[in-house]
Amino acid sequence: MTITDTDLAAADATGATPPHPLASLSADEFTRIRDIVTAAPDFTETTRFAYVGLDEPHKREVLAWQNGDGPLPDRRARVMLLEMATGRSTDTVVSLASGAFVSTVVLDGSTGQLPILVEEFEAIASIVADDARWVEALTRRGLTVDTVICVPLSAGYYDFPEEVGRRILRVLAFRMDAPHDHPWAHPVDGLSAYVDTATRTVTRLIDATDLPVPETSGNFDDPELQGPPLDTLKPIVITQPEGPSYTVEGENVSWGNWTFQVGFDTREGLVLRQLAWTDAATGASRPVIYRASIDEMLVPYGDPSPVRFWQNYFDTGEYLFGRFTNSLELGCDCVGEIHYFDATMADELGNPTTIRNGICLHEEDFGTLWKHSDMFTGSDEVRRSRRLVISFFTTVGNYDYGFYWYLYLDGTIECEAKLTGILFTSAYPGLSADGADYPYASEVAPGLGGPYHQHLFSARLDMTVDGIANAVDEVDVVRVPVGPGNEHGNAFTKGVTRLTTEGSSGRVADASVARAWHIVNSEKTNAMGRPTGYVLLPQESPTLLADASSSIAKRAEFATKHLFVTAYDPAERYAAGDFVHQNPGGDGITKYIADDASIDGEDIVLWHTFGPTHFPRPEDWPVMPVDYAKFTLKPYGFFDRNPALNVPAPASSHAAPGAAGADAHCAHHAAADPAHPHH
């Protein structure tokens, strides 16, 4: 059924509430978008939807509407269309209300290609199977097209003349010995095919080396490999007999003093919107973050092998990792009182499709929130910490990534990436003639290599700390030399440097000086007359390790620093640019900072790169225990005092259930005894 303008008008006439301007696109809206787009004359049987997402209104318009100073912004969708037969690629914005095409840009390939389609991935095996050189290379290794699986990978951008303007994927093969045999254990090294997915041809075959296919097992789900079960673990049961402490209405969530909206996008996955803290005394809502997401992630490999030098995966921009969001299972992925949000998106034919339980919301006990036993007053107080967890998991080929946002009762916000799944493997070349280890991979199982690589996540943090007039100060500890005023040499202080323009906003973390970035409001002050603010606390880990002259350094300038700050621009959405697949570089952050706009007291966006550099371990094989990377945002002068004083004292479970005093609070265990201080 086609929804017409008349239907929409009729829906309005019934008094149905129109969606919030930032609400995730609904299944009905995806259907409406499909109908608008497929009715266009240049839409054909072989046109595919590479991306459909909300084209967000300008922040100014949204805030004006919320303040009652402006109209409800027009609801628009961004649609990227790939004509499979010709490779013609367009980037279009359509109005859901009018059905009009607001804008259409035709890509010429010089600024990158549209994201890779699942349909292109699926075509790879038959394309290479039809290539005599590929078959011959397999035959020489004692393999056939039926005994290997083909892994299609993003091509990067190199000066190969035959690739200019064409949609290219690179292919590596892995031997699969049985229907449930994990092929990642058996890389067919030294062999790679470069494929044009539009013409369905192999443009180049690399047949570099003959390394033996590793024979180790990767079958982590095989009881034989697992060994005797660990049978000493008793159940841990999490119950909330009175139910959870959050409330959910549509995408709106409130919990403690926090309010926000949960959004979903095919490219970025989970999006947090309009995160704000409600002042308990005044009821005023104080904004902190307008929009937060993982806008890009890059996995660059450090192995210069002739079949791996191009391994640089942009899991967000090239692969749209949101579409691989897992459907989560209660009791397995998440425990406790869970609220799930479904994730709705368009498939490559434009039809709405829903991932059930794509986003998980729940509370966790988190140990001690604050505590003191006072020796002079006898005061003995403890409060328990808890956090609200908003998370999703996505599987991108061999790796599985979880992204967890945590909100705490004391105003702290954290984002944690969880990395698990299976290493991308190689055949380990063995020791060199002089007995040295291969310098670019670990041997993780006999004969099996785990090439060195990085996981560099970009968090786009569109900050609104107490409003849109924000600035960033870099704060370092500073050693003070012995001298007048510091005669004993014990002094240290802090150095504060305001980041004033985009061009100088690229900053690197430095744990040796406890470097942190304070996001302050340039107009609002706290009780001490100082700017209200939040501080971004990075984890120190290497930025992009590839050489500055490399292709990947040009394509991922965002990853060469831990922080960039830009003036808000609704067109600046992704750290590596909009069209990352085969993008030659100079896009994204490089472009966004080029005009060197002021970021001092403006509406600003922080781009924070974080994530581990990975020398794989034997213990990461055959499936990797979760590794973690995170950053923290803490209130710093945002409040006038500890904002969690009003958290009620917990009930003691010391007394037996039902006995008198069973609900006694956890206090007054220690008598004050100033005569015997413990410190």
Q: Which is nearer to Co ion, 375 or 629 (CB)?
A: 629
Q: Degrees (nearest 5) of the Cα angle 43, 44, 48?
A: 80
Q: Active-site residue among 194, 301, 399, 404?
A: 399
128 vs 294, beta carbon nearer Co ion: 294
Euclidean distance between CA atoms 51 and 573, whole angstroms: 14
CB of residue 666 to Co ion, shortest distance in Å: 42
Contact region for Co ion (CB under 5 A) — 289-297, 389-397, 470-478, 610-618? 610-618
Residue closer to Co ion, measured from CB, 50 or 423: 423
Which residue's Cβ lies closest to Co ion?
Answer: 614
Closest CA to 424 of 402, 445, 452, 403: 452
Task: State in angstroms the smallest separation of the CB of 71 from Co ion.
Answer: 48
Whether the CA torsion 299, 303, 304, 310 is positive or negative: it is negative
In the complex, minimum distance from the CB of residue 620 to Co ion, in angstroms, rounded to a whole number: 8
Of the pair 246, 424, the CB lying nearest Co ion is at: 424
- Least distance in Å: CB of 87 to Co ion? 33
Window 611-630: residues binding Co ion (CB under 5 A): 614
- Of 554 and 614, CB closest to Co ion: 614
The answer to whether the beta carbons of residues 495 and 514 sit under 8 Å apart is no
Angstrom CA distances, 432 to 428, 437, 450, 511, stand at 11, 7, 17, 37
Token pair, residue 647, equals 């958290």
Q: Is 16 exposed, middle or buried (0-12, 13-18, 19+ CB in 10 A)?
A: exposed
Give the tokens for residue 334: 């998440």
The 3-state DSSP class for residue 89 equals strand
Q: Give the interface size with Co ion as a residue count (CB under 5 A).
A: 1
Residue with tokens 């709705």: 344
Cα 632 → chain centroid: 14
The least CB distance from residue 453 to Co ion, in Å, is 6
**Listed ranges 48-56, 146-154, 434-442, 609-617: which one lies at the site for Co ion (CB under 5 A):** 609-617
CB 344 within 8 A of CB 264: yes
Classify burial at 147, counting beta carbons within 10 Å of its beta carbon; exposed 0-12, middle 13-18, buried 19 or more. middle
- CB nearer to Co ion: pick between 138 and 423: 423
Looking at residue 231, the DSSP 8-state letter turns out to be -
Look up 315 and say whether it is catalytic.
Answer: yes
Strand partners, 498: 473
Residue 555 or residue 614: which is nearer to Co ion going by CB?
614
* Beta carbon nearer to Co ion, 308 or 614: 614
Question: Is residue 158 within 8 Å of residue 310, measured between CB atoms?
Answer: yes
Residues 6+ apart with CB under 8 A from 586: 554
To the nearest whole angstrom, how small is the minimum distance from the Cβ of residue 176 to Co ion? Answer: 22
Which stretch in 172-180, 256-264, 572-580, 608-616 sits in contact with Co ion by CB under 5 A? 608-616
Angle at 111 between CA 105 and CA 115, to 5 degrees: 80
The least CB distance from residue 532 to Co ion, in Å, is 38
Whether 222 sits among the annotated catalytic residues: the reply is no
For residues 345 and 327, the answer to whether their CB atoms sit within 8 Å is: no
Task: List CB contacts of 420: < 8 A, sequence separation 6 or more.
Answer: 399, 400, 401, 402, 623, 624, 625, 626, 627
Strand, coil or helix: 245: coil
**Which of the residues 91, 295, 315, 603 is marked catalytic?**
315
As given in the structure block, the two tokens for residue 396 are 């991108």
Minimum CB separation from Co ion for residue 428, in Å? Answer: 17
Residues 322 and 319: their CA atoms lie apart, in Å, by 9
| Residue (286 or 614) nearer to Co ion, CB | 614
Burial status of residue 210 (CB atoms within 10 A of its CB: 0-12, 13-18, 19 or more)? middle
How long is the chain? 679
User: Cβ of residue 419: shortest distance to Co ion, in angstroms?
Assistant: 6
Specify the stretch interacting with Co ion by CB under 5 A; choose among 7-15, 155-163, 263-271, 607-615. Answer: 607-615
Give the C-alpha separation, 239 to 454, whole Å: 39
The whole-angstrom separation of Cα 248 and Cα 251 is: 7
Task: State the Cα–Cα distance between residues 407 and 385, nearest whole angstrom.
Answer: 11
608 binds Co ion (CB under 5 A): no
Binding mask 509-538 for Co ion (x = CB under 5 A): ------------------------------
Pick the closer one to Co ion by CB: 246 or 399: 399
Minimum gap (Å) between residue 187 Cβ and Co ion: 16
Residues that bind Co ion (CB under 5 A): 614
Catalytic residues, by residue number, are 315, 399
